């Protein structure tokens, strides 16, 4: 068993010399946590401290919420205590720089630290663990709920409140949040922006001759980085699109450049370059070293040219990019190669990289980033690191197995998932029936709780439903799941089918032999017969041919050539 300790420190007021220090020790034990907090106060800029824990009745203070100090330097302090014996949370409020505290029970369980109104230290905001937005106008003495399903809240100018709202009750549905505002402390609301829909332009847009000079671009050695043209709205726009950049594989997008551009990825994603797509001559190239968050411009020539294209070495590992075009009336073509190597003064080292979890949507969840039962982490360059990766850069990847959940399983034979449910339930027409199916020519009995792991899934542990297949040692034909009543006579049916097939084959063979004998072996052939005597008469030009022919006719059976077939 290990105890955990934390220390929080906060100055109270401006020039007051008052300093508060909160020390917390807690010991996790099974599903419970036991802890102790001590509060110390100093009035001489921290030279000496006095233990004032009795002012908060020795209550365990949640260090996650810290010491909430009013930003107006009025001496207001709030501590959030965990009253475990009654299962509630309690505020300890001070308006005299921590000399005394007043306890107030909360009607909810807070999720975040209290947020002071920058213009009024008596007005507070916070979120509950049920995503309800709560407001207090009397320094935490009383509270009222002003909205539900709130994911994020911030104070705006002139005491306005901005927050994101999702009617589905989930803050993880990207693109499904509404941005709302209230200027009267929750008595009325205005929707500022609804769900954001980004339409990416690809092959369809180029086929329709839209002003899209390049398709979406990504590289295997620049993990998670995508450049694409897109437009925001309810439908795809025919107007000139803008360039958007995604650094998480397309889950979220950032507007990088206004208008259409030609772009390229260099140095394995450490450098992005772009040239504006325009009919006017250009002499400027834009580049970014932080995955498209900030862009800089460089004039690569004093004599602008009509841009025709841009390309870099294959593999996106180079620091060089070539731009070509023409000047005048196509009479002079120009190719300019720009070397960005001198832009970086040093090579990247281990401290320049950070681990990045692919497919991350809920950082607080244990299965965050899990796809088909495993998660992948990559080493990626920090956005604030300006260094050269080099040609030898190789993507570093680690795989981790995830605990199995319902999402890792299909519904098994005879089960289905009802709408808006993740659990598998048995089909009505299959209840009480033995689940027998044909697998590789043998009948097997399936005993299942309704779940079958998705093929290729690598999850381990976690949810492990029971499932067994018993070989009944009976031959079968087919591979479909059949009720038991349909499989009892499967062997007899197989024998009948086999006998019919054999009979057809025998009849075909007999018919074939009869046809061969009748039309091949029993046919007559045309034979040419030659007479030796006629050949001699014709050769010697002997008279009396008619007499010879008469004699030949009478004895033709004995006058065939020796090589005759007859």
pTM, whole model, 2 decimals?
A: 0.53
Say how far apart CA 45 and CA 15 lie, in whole Å: 9
Q: Which domains does the chain have, with CATH numbers?
A: 4-193 (2.130.10.10), 212-343 (2.40.128), 406-488 (3.30.60)
Task: Tell which residue, 154, 167, 159, has the closest CA to residue 137.
Answer: 159
The torsion defined by the Cα of 536, 539, 543 and 544, in degrees rounded to 10, comes to 40
Task: Report residue 381 as tokens.
Answer: 């360059």
Concatenating the DSSP letter of every residue in 442-460 gives EEEEEEESSEEEPTT----
Residue 362 · residue 172 · CB < 8 Å:
yes
Q: Are strands 242-246 and 102-105 parallel, antiparallel or unpaired?
A: unpaired
3-class secondary structure for 151-178? EEEEECHHHCEEEEECCCCCCCCCCCCE
Residue 172 pLDDT: 67
Q: What is the pLDDT of residues 311-332, one digit of tens each?
A: 888 888 889 999 999 887 767 8
Total count of residues recorded for the chain: 566
Residue 390 · residue 298 · CB < 8 Å:
no
Helix axes 545-554, 532-540, angle to 10 degrees: 170
Q: What is the pLDDT of residues 425-439, one digit of tens each?
A: 888 887 877 777 777
Q: What is the pLDDT of residues 69-111, one digit of tens each?
A: 888 888 899 988 887 665 688 899 999 998 999 999 889 989 8
Q: Residues in the chain with pLDDT < 70? A: 1-5, 26-34, 84-87, 168-170, 172-176, 193-196, 330, 471-472, 477-493, 519-566
């Amino acid at each position: 068993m290990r105890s955990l300790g934390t220390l929080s420190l906060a100055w109270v007021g401006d020039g007051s010399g008052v300093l508060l220090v909160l020390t917390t020790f807690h010991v996790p034990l099974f599903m419970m946590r036991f802890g102790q907090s001590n509060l110390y106060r100093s009035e001489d800029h921290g030279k000496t401290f006095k233990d004032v824990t009795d002012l908060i009745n020795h209550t365990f203070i949640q260090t996650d919420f810290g010491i909430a100090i009013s930003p107006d330097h009025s001496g207001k302090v709030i501590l959030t205590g965990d009253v475990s014996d009654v299962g509630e949370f309690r505020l300890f409020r001070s308006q005299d720089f921590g000399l005394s505290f007043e306890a107030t029970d909360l009607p909810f369980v807070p999720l975040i630290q209290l947020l002071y109104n920058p213009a009024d230290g008596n007005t507070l905001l916070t979120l509950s663990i049920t995503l309800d937005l709560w407001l207090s106008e009397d320094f935490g003495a009383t509270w009222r709920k002003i909205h539900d399903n709130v994911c994020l809240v911030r104070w705006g100018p002139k005491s306005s409140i901005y927050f994101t709202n999702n009617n589905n009750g989930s803050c993880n549905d990207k693109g499904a949040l509404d941005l709302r505002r209230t200027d009267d402390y929750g008595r009325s609301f205005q929707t500022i922006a609804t769900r954001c829909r980004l339409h990416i332009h690809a092959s369809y847009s180029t086929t329709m001759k839209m002003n899209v000079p390049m398709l979406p671009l990504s590289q295997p050695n620049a993990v998670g980085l995508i450049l694409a043209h897109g437009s925001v709205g309810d439908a795809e726009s025919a107007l000139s699109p803008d360039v958007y950049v995604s650094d998480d594989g397309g889950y979220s997008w950032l507007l990088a450049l206004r208008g259409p551009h030609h772009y390229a990825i260099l140095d394995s994603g450490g450098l992005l370059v772009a040239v504006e797509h325009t009919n006017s001559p250009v002499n400027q190239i834009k580049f970014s070293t932080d995955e498209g968050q900030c862009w800089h411009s460089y004039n690569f020539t004093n004599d602008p040219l009509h841009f025709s294209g841009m390309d870099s070495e294959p593999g996106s590992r180079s620091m060089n990019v070539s731009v070509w075009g023409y000047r005048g009336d196509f009479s002079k073509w120009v190719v300019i190669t720009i070397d960005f190597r001198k832009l970086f003064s040093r090579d990247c080292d281990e401290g320049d990289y950070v681990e990045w979890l692919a497919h991350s949507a809920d950082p607080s969840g244990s299965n965050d980033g899990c796809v088909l039962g495993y998660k992948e982490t990559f080493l990626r360059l920090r956005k604030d690191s300006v260094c050269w990766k080099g040609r030898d850069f190789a993507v570093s990847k680690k795989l981790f197995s995830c605990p199995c959940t319902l999402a890792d399983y299909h519904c098994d034979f005879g089960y289905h998932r009802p709408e808006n449910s993740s659990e598998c339930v048995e089909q009505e027409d299959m209840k009480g029936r033995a689940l027998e199916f044909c697998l590789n020519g043998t009948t097997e009995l399936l005993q299942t709780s309704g779940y079958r792991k998705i093929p290729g899934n690598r999850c381990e542990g976690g949810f492990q439903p029971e499932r067994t297949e018993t070989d009944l040692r009976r031959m079968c034909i087919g591979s479909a799941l059949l009720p038991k009543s349909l499989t009892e006579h499967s062997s007899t049916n197989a024998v009948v089918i086999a006998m019919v097939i054999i009979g057809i084959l025998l009849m075909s063979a007999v018919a074939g032999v009869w046809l061969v004998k009748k039309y091949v072996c029993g046919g007559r052939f045309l034979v040419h017969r030659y007479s030796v005597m006629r050949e001699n008469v014709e050769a010697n030009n002997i008279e009396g041919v008619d007499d010879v022919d008469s004699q030949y006719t009478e004895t033709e059976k004995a006058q065939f050539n020796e090589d005759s077939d007859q």
